[in-house]
Amino acid sequence: EAGVAQSPRYKIIEKRQSVAFWCNPISGHATLYWYQQILGQGPKLLIQFQNNGVVDDSQLPKDRFSAERLKGVDSTLKIQPAKLEDSAVYLCASSHGTANYGYTFGSGTRLTVV
Amino acid sequence: KNQVEQSPQSLIILEGKNCTLQCNYTVSPFSNLRWYKQDTGRGPVSLTIMTFSENTKSNGRYTATLDADTKQSSLHITASQLSDSASYICVVSEGGGFKTIFGAGTRLFVKA
């Protein structure tokens, strides 16, 4: 089966600019996750969708981050305006249901804010 | 507070040697524990998954153990290869699996 697709792979922007990331999960996977992974740390959940509804966005900095999953398939994550500390890898993952079914991760988008 | 702590933070071993990575957790109620391998520039890939009743699971040269009483897990790598150089992340799912907690990972370097 095709994996989780993410784009772009790399992005460099200046602080205060905006940026958007795209994720296409595995076909049929109802649950989609966005994680932020800062260098040297484990991934931190930003937002979890079940179909097109939000299950958990408690760690999403809502003043600057937003995410949507229209039609319960593809998802976009946006940062506006970006800060230096947003430099990280943004990972998208999907699963059939809950995490008990296992995740499949995409390769991530490496964001550098200068 | 639910936490997952891994040790060591980083490890350097010679090719062909064995190594063991540790994971301690305080997640409750416990659902399952996974070990992931993350190559540089790639997303994590699942190696093993263990539920409460399982205490060992193998995947090739990788063997994971789980002691649910002491809330400890280990990942043993046998006869290491250069391609084993990666970060190994311990992930614990809580309750019905809706929440997962990631460890910070152990960075393994295998040298020729």
Collapsed DSSP state (helix, strand, coil) of residue B58: strand
Highest mean pLDDT range out of A43-52, B1-10, B11-20? B11-20
**CA-based nearest distance A43→chain B, Å:** 6
* Single-letter amino acid code for the residue at B91: V
pLDDT at B97 over 80: no
pLDDT tens across B20-54, in order?
A: 999 999 988 888 999 999 998 889 999 999 988 89
For chain A, give the secondary structure using H, E and C. CCCCEEECCEEEECCCCCEEEEEECCCCCCEEEEEEECCCCCCEEEEEEECCEEEECCCCCCCCEEEECHHHCCEEEEECCCCHHHCEEEEEEEECCCHHHCCEECCCEEEEEC
CA distances in angstroms from A53 to A27, A46, A56, A81, listed in the order given:
17, 14, 9, 24
Q: Write out chain B residues lying below 8 Å of A105, CB-based.
A: 43-45
| pLDDT computed for residue A1 by the predictor | 60
Collapsed DSSP state (helix, strand, coil) of residue B83: helix
Better pLDDT: A39 or A12: A12
pLDDT tens across A46-92, in order?
A: 999 998 899 899 999 999 999 999 888 999 999 999 999 999 999 99
Q: CB distance from B102 to chain A under 8 Å?
A: yes
Q: Write out chain A residues lying below 8 Å of B41, CB-based.
A: 107-108, 110
Q: CB distance from B93 to chain A under 8 Å?
A: yes
Task: Concatenate the DSSP letters of all residues of B12-38 into one string.
Answer: EEETT--EEEEEEE--SSEEEEEEEEE
Cα separation of B40 and B44, whole Å?
10
Which token pair is B68? Answer: 């649910």
